[in-house]
Structure 1
Amino acid sequence: MKISIRGKISLAFMIFISLSALIWARSYYSQYILNQKIQIIERKYDLFNAILEARRYEKNYFLSFDRKNIAEALNYVRQAEDILRNILKEYGKYTLAKNLDQSITELVTYKESLTNLLNFQEEGHLMVPPNIIELIRKQGRILTNKLEKIVKKESDFTRDLIGKSQTIHLLALIPVFILSVLVALFLVFSVNRPLKTIENAITKIASGDFENIPEIKTGDEFESLAYSLNNMIDELSKRNKQLVQAQKLASLGKLTSGVAHELNNPLNNISTSIQILIEEIEEDGLEYKKELLVGAEKEVERGKEIVRSLLEFARERTLTLKQVYFLDLINRAIKHVKPEIPDNIRLKVEVPDNIQATIGLRIRSVIINLITNAVHAMKDGGEITIRAYNELDKDGFSFQVIDTGEGIPEKIISKVFDPFFTTKEVGKGSGMGLSIVYGIMEQHGGSISVSSEVGNGATFTCFLPFHQPDQRDL
């Protein structure tokens, strides 16, 4: 039979409440009985002390024959009688001594003997017969001994009851402990573990791993949730494959369109020049014909450059990784690109000399490309800042190329790494540079991002890990 999580928790809660109620009722009953016993003992001690006081005055009388002693003894006996009757009335069913009625009779007899003794004395008799003295002493002694035993018995029983109550409380904790352990195990195995499994599966889904959740057999909502999630994962996996395929087709279409557009322009120019030459081959105008041939040659070079960029973009080369100081790599890149930097552009380097990493030398091409793009973005001059810093928590370092140029509009900033995307004039660039940079950074296990505001320049931020395998296909 399948029980829902709500049912399991409700059942555990009901058991816990029932057990707690039983323990509370048992504890309350024990405490109530114990309280009654303590009050009985207090009253019996009062009774016992009253009898002792009466016996003391009785003894004093037989020593001095002073009637005041008998009167005091009678007062204490009456107090003892009241206490004993009160015990019978209030605590009769809780007291151990079941013959207290007989004790009252004995107490009344003792009181009558003392009263007779007092009357005997008031009648003018100076001497008390020895048999009366012995009778009163015997009655007092019997009462004292009997009450002493009763008090001792009640005290022993109360001590025993306290011990049993402590034992019961300790034993009552055992089922509570067992129930707590069972609830904890239930939460671990029936709640926490399935939740952890589902959490791990969702984390994998977020990272692109559409692996099914291991089957959960708990017979509750978690089992249904896992089944539903697996159905969702299967559907997401199917949709993801369709999306990847659609993206491939879209990328292929975009690349084809770009290649066709970029190659079509120089081919049209070459075709036009050749047609003019064919038509005017026999006419004069050698300089004009030469100009047409030079233009055609430039267009051929442009087409070759586009093809080279495509090959560079698609080519996989095996390079030897080398441990270098990043500042040295920056200096070599700057030396290479320095002739192309106009005098109205300042170059500032903020790279510490302690950044050392194992990277491919193609990273120099990344730096050159980013500096070149920055130069092209500052037609009226400005400043290029190359900055680098360690990121030890990521086991790598970042470097930035910052310019103060015209910036990149928000609507196109997401396209800057797309193949053939360029904002330059026709014939001024293939639009492959940043695509190649992006590919090089990815192949190195790094990343590149751009931030910009129109009129405030652009910042390209790159991250590279310190260490990589000895050889990689780059």
Structure 2
Amino acid sequence: MAHFASASLSLRQKIVAILVLYVLGIGAMALISYEDLRTMEDKLEFMRLGHVIANTILEVRRYEKNYLLYGLPEDLEEDRRYLETSFQTLAVLTAEVRDLKVSPQLDALDGLLRDYQKALDDLAAAGGGQDARDGEAALRLREIGKGLADAADGVVDFERNRIRDLLRLLGIQLLGAVAVAAALGVALPLLMFRKIFKPLGVIRAATLDIARGRFKEIPVANTSDEIEQVMAAINRMVAEIERRQDQLVQSKKLSSIGTLTAGVAHQLNNPLNNISTSSQIALEELETADPAFLKKLLGNIHQETLRARDIVQGLLEFSRVREFSLRLVSLAELARRTVRLVSSQASSGVRLALDVPEDLSVPADASRLQEALLNLLINAIQAVGGQGEVRLAARRDPDADEAVITVSDTGPGIPADIRGRIFDPFYTTKEEGKGTGLGLSIVYGIVEKHAGSVTVESEPGQGAAFHIRLPLTERTGPKMDATP
């Protein structure tokens, strides 16, 4: 069975082979039982003939006794006739027998019949008088006749015991056949489950995960058939999808950058105006101004320059393409940069709240985690419309050794019937042309790459809260570098 399981057979060949094994097993048991029944039929016929010859010998003995008592010639003739019938029945019995074990009994019976015939002939030759019927020939005839009856009964008893043994054997074979059928009925489905249905279940789960945007490689089962080829193909497809997803993430980033451009320009306009105003005042007052006043103006220019640099640096950091790399990231600093980038999207009626501990850090890819937070914040801002609150908070969960990042809003909430699909790729509730349906799917993929999880809580009319759980210690193994 193990050799069969490891043989290089196609899936169709394995199914056919399993069915053939099952049919052959049942057929072999049926053939053995049929042969035993045929043997039983032959032995029953033998038993019938045995009883016939035993009854015939009883008639021989009966006429023997009548002749010895009365000396009537007709009794002697009847004795001879039944004796001839016994010879004929024994001949039929010997011709039909196939069992060598009973042959010695038949040979002995044949010898006794011949001895009895000779003794009967000797008695008849001695005459029918009373002296002859009481003499030595009659005594010998009686002894041979008694042995003859015992031999006939012995043949019948022998076959009766053989039939009893055969019935016992048939019972054992029946139990064995039931046990083998039960074993095959259990082993073959288990084999099919292990070699066919279990890998197909893994493939089904993998395709469902892919449909939900969860791209994980699956262990390839060593089945040496189409299932192994399909599993390997799925892993190749997952690798290609992940590569394309990274391209989609970057494309989405560029789209987000386009969305943020107007707001960033507005954010840059304020420090640039301050720099321009301070520079003009410094130029006008350069000859007469107090050095302390000029120093203050230059300090303002420096601060506003740093402010503009931070805005541009945050945008560049967000748009930069890098390989996925885990480093120890300060969530407070990352949250501030992200809120600064997205603040231009919020109208004056939307309050952006930030509640992240300064000492909370996680191993993360800063750019990708910022992308996830940015998508959640933009969705939250769009959800509240022109009035409400969007909060970015984080806390430590020491029991699970995880950091919990929450983006919540006071919008209308997410209906229960679509809550289970919001992370699916290309699923969106926005009007056509206003959303791609990739934002939350990208969030899910980014969090999954960090060995974390993302869930949503929402009640109609009470807003929504997205919870990202990230491990506080790296689970993938490489050494981390510290970065703000």
How far off is 1:308 after superposition? Answer: 4.7
1:232 equivalenced with 2:304 (yes/no): no
Aligned to 1:161, which of 135, 159, 166? 166
Are the equivalent residues in 2 in contact too, given 1:4–1:221 (CA < 8 A)? no
Structure 2 match to 1:98: 104
Structure 1 counterpart of 2:37: 31
Aligned pair count reads 309
- Call closer, same or farther: CA 1:444–1:47 in 2, change over 3 Å: closer
Q: Which of the residues 106, 114, 130 maps onto 2:134?
A: 130
Q: What residue number does 1:300 align with?
A: none
Q: For the Cα contact (< 8 Å) 1:444–1:464, is it kept in 2?
A: no
For residues 308-355 of structure 1, the C-alpha deviation after alignment (integer angstroms, 9 at most, x for no partner) is 588853874359xxxxxxxxxxxxxxxxxxxxxxxxxxxxxxxxxxxx
Residue in structure 2 matching 1:50, options 38, 50, 56: 56
How much does 1:174 deviate?
Answer: 5.6
For 1:343-400, what per-residue CA distance to the aligned partner results, in whole angstroms no more than 9, with x for missing partners?
Answer: xxxxxxxxxxxxxxxxx9957x79xxxxxxxxxxxxxxxxxxxxxxx99x999xxxxx
SS in 2 for 1:317: strand
TM-score by length of 2: 0.49
**Equivalent runs, 1:331-370 vs 2, <5 Å:** none
In the other structure, the counterpart of 1:201 is 206
Match of 2:385 in 1: 313
- The corresponding residue for 1:415 is 431
Summarize the Cα distance change of 1:27–1:111 in structure 2 as closer, same or farther, 3 Å threshold.
same
Provide the rounded CA distance (Å) in 1 between the counterparts of 2:100 and 2:461.
Answer: 87
In structure 2, relative to structure 1, the CA distance for the partners of 1:206 and 1:76 (3 Å cut) is same
Give yes or no for the alignment of 1:85 onto 2:125: no
Structure 2: runs of 5 or more not aligned: 1-5, 266-345, 351-380, 393-407, 420-428, 436-454, 469-484
Q: Report if the CA contact (8 A) 1:43-1:87 is conserved.
A: yes
Residues 1:135 and 1:468: Cα distance change in structure 2 (over 3 Å)? farther
Amino acid at match of 1:129: R
**Which secondary structure does the structure 2 equivalent of 1:159 belong to?**
helix
Tell me the residue number matched to 1:372: none
Q: CA RMSD in A?
A: 5.1
Structure 2 Cα separation of the partners of residues 78 and 129 of structure 1: 22
Which of 41, 50, 70 is the aligned partner of 2:47?
41
Give the superposition deviation at 1:51: 0.7
| Residue in structure 1 matching 2:65, options 59, 66, 84 | 59
2:458 is aligned with what amino acid? G
Give aligned-pair identity as a percent: 24
- Structure 2 counterpart of 1:185: 190
Q: What secondary structure sits across from 2:214 in the alignment?
A: coil
* Whole-Å separation in 2 of the counterparts to 1:469 and 1:52: 105
1:365-384 equivalences under 5 Å are none
Residues 105 and 151 of structure 2 are in contact (CA less than 8 Å); yes or no, is this contact kept in structure 1? no
**Cα distance in 2, alignment partners of residues 72 and 56 from structure 1:** 10
Amino acid at match of 1:40: F
CA distance in 2, matches of 1:195, 1:113: 85
TM-score by length of 1: 0.50
The reply on whether 1:76 has 2:78 as its aligned counterpart is no
Give the secondary structure class of the aligned counterpart of 1:194: helix
Offset at 1:44? Answer: 1.1
Letter in 2 for 1:188: F
Deviation at 1:96, TM superposition (A): 1.0
For residues 92 and 240 of structure 1, what CA distance do their matches in structure 2 show?
80
How far apart are the structure 1 equivalents of 2:75 and 2:389?
A: 126
**Which amino acid in structure 1 is aligned with residue 109 of structure 2?**
S
CA 1:68/1:468 → structure 2, altered by over 3 Å: closer, same or farther? farther
Cα distance in 2, alignment partners of residues 74 and 8 from structure 1: 71
Report the Cα offset of residue 48 of structure 1: 0.8
- Is the 1:318–1:471 contact (alpha carbons within 8 Å) kept by the matching residues of 2? no
Aligned partners of 1:81, 1:102: CA distance in 2, in Å? 13
Note the C-alpha offset of 1:211. Answer: 2.0
Q: C-alpha separation between the residues in 2 aligned to 1:82 and 1:156? A: 25
Give the secondary structure class of the aligned counterpart of 1:37.
helix
